[in-house]
Amino acid sequence: MKITFVMANVFGLSGGVREIYNYAEQLKKRGHEVLCISPPKRHPSLRQQIRSLLKGQGWISMPKNRYSFLDDTNFTYRILESWRPITDTDLPNADVVIACWWQTANWVARLSPSKGAKAYLMRDYGAPGQELEKLIPTWSLPLHIMTISHWLAELVKEYCGDIPISVIPCSVDLDLFHSPPRSKHQYPTVGVVYRKMSTKGIDIALEAVHIAGKTMPNLRLIMYGSHPLKHKLPPNTVYEYKPKDEQLRKIYASCDAWLFPSRLEGFGLPILEAMACRTPVIGTPAGAAPELLSNGAGILVQPEDPEDMARAIVQICSLFDEEWQTMSDAAYAKATNYTLDDATDLFEAALRTAIERTKHGDF
User: Residues 234-274: pLDDT tens digits?
Assistant: 889 999 998 988 999 999 999 999 999 999 998 999 999 99
Say yes or no to pLDDT of 69 above 60. Answer: no
- Which DSSP letter does residue 305 get? -
Q: Which residues contact 12 (CB under 8 A, 6 or more apart)?
A: 66, 67, 68, 226
| CATH 3.40.50.2000 assigned to 2-171+340-359 | yes
Q: Which residues contact 254 (CB under 8 A, 6 or more apart)?
A: 185, 189, 191, 222
How many whole angstroms separate alpha carbon 275 and alpha carbon 292? 9
Give bridge partners of residue 166 from the DSSP assignment: 146
How many whole angstroms separate alpha carbon 118 and alpha carbon 23? 17
pLDDT digits (tens, 9 = 90+) for 123-161: 887 766 788 899 999 999 999 999 999 989 999 999 999
C-alpha distance across the termini of the chain, in Å: 20
176: left (phi over 0), alpha (psi -120 to 50) or beta: alpha
Q: DSSP H helical segments within 119-256, as ranges?
A: 132-135, 150-160, 202-215, 245-253
pLDDT of residue 40: 85
**Given this chain, do its domains 2-171+340-359 and 189-336 carry the same CATH topology?**
yes
Q: How much is the mean pLDDT over the chain?
A: 90
Say yes or no to pLDDT of 233 above 50. Answer: yes
Burial of 109 (0-12, 13-18, 19+ CB in 10 A): middle
Give bridge partners of residue 99 from the DSSP assignment: 6, 120
Kind of pairing, strands 237-241 and 76-79?
Answer: unpaired
pLDDT of residue 299: 98
Where does 189-336 sit in CATH, by number? 3.40.50.2000
Q: What is the pTM of this model?
A: 0.84
Domain ranges of the chain: 2-171+340-359, 189-336
- Which DSSP letter does residue 144 get? E
